[in-house]
Amino acid sequence: MSTDSPDTTDSTVPTPAAVARAIDHTLLKPEATRADVAALVAEAAELGTYSVCVSPSMLPLDVPEGLKVAVVCGFPSGKHTSAVKAAEAAESVRLGADEIDMVIDVGAAREGRYDDVQADVAAVRAAAPAPTVLKVIIESAALDDEQVVGVCRASAAAGADFVKTSTGFHPAGGATEHAVRLMKQTVGDALEVKASGGVRTLAQARAMMAAGATRLGVSGSRALLADAAGEAASGY
């Protein structure tokens, strides 16, 4: 990263503005209303986030130019059939989604059935081809390192654009620096990595980005970015 970039304070630490541009501003609570989602969109535009991430039933959305729309698929369990996931993804794209965040069958990963994981991802990829961005949620906290590597490789082989740590709904937990680093080491430059689940502070966001994440799933974006006020006061 260049030292003269307007979005960085030095060559290694992203500014709050750069962190904001990496955020998928997220609202996936089952009780969310259309008014809640409209407020999410307004807040995302104010904060300068990359996108909003919502449930498919909330589409279509009225968003300002430049704000992307991400939609979850097979969420949160991943136990839907591939045909159902593909249909959900296709409909979401038809209704205006720019990006699809799909959940794998985590049980298949735990059993080492990586060919099945690859076929599942490939079905969604076929239903939502480029330029739609496809992110694959692997639920990394529920997997061991070997399984994380296996599903990342399967996702790459199926044509995904990102691998993503977590739904944020699994009791095993959310993103960790270790998982993000392992995922990035596995996919290299072929795919990007999204850290999601439990990213609540500016320091955590920067740590995930340092580990290799280029996108962040955050529901409390305003609170996370408000950390910058204290940073500025301390002369960071």
- Rounded CA-CA distance 50/128 in Å is 20
Amino acid identity at 40: L
Per residue in 65-115, pLDDT (tens digit) is 999 999 999 999 999 999 999 999 999 999 999 999 999 999 999 999 999
Q: Enumerate residue ranges in the chain where pLDDT < 50.
A: 1-9, 232-236
Whether residue 70 contacts residue 53, with contact meaning beta carbons closer than 8 Å, is answered with yes
pLDDT of residue 133: 98
pLDDT of residue 4: 37
- Rounded CA-CA distance 117/188 in Å is 20
What is the domain class of 16-233 according to CATH? alpha beta
pLDDT of residue 3: 33
Query: Please, which residues bridge with residue 217 across strands?
Result: 24, 196
Query: Please, which residues bridge with residue 218 across strands?
Result: 25
Work out the angle at residue 100's Cα, subtended by the Cα atoms of residues 44 and 107, and round it to the nearest 5 degrees. Answer: 120
The domains of the chain are located at 16-233
CA 8, chain centre distance (Å) = 22
pLDDT of residue 229: 60
Q: What residues are labeled active site?
A: 101, 164, 194
Whether the pTM exceeds 0.75: the reply is: yes
Tell me if residue 61 falls in helix, strand or coil: coil
77 CB-contact burial (10 Å; exposed 0-12 / middle 13-18 / buried 19+) = middle
Tokens of 71: 């939609």
Question: What contacts 142, CB < 8 A, 6 or more positions away?
Answer: 106, 110, 170, 172
Specify the DSSP element, H or E, that contains 25: strand 23-26
Tell me if residue 80 falls in helix, strand or coil: coil
Query: Can you list the alpha helix ranges (DSSP code H) found in the chain?
Result: 16-20, 34-47, 82-94, 106-110, 114-127, 145-157, 177-187, 202-211, 221-233
pLDDT of residue 2: 35
Query: Please, which residues bridge with residue 26 across strands?
Result: 53
pLDDT of residue 11: 53
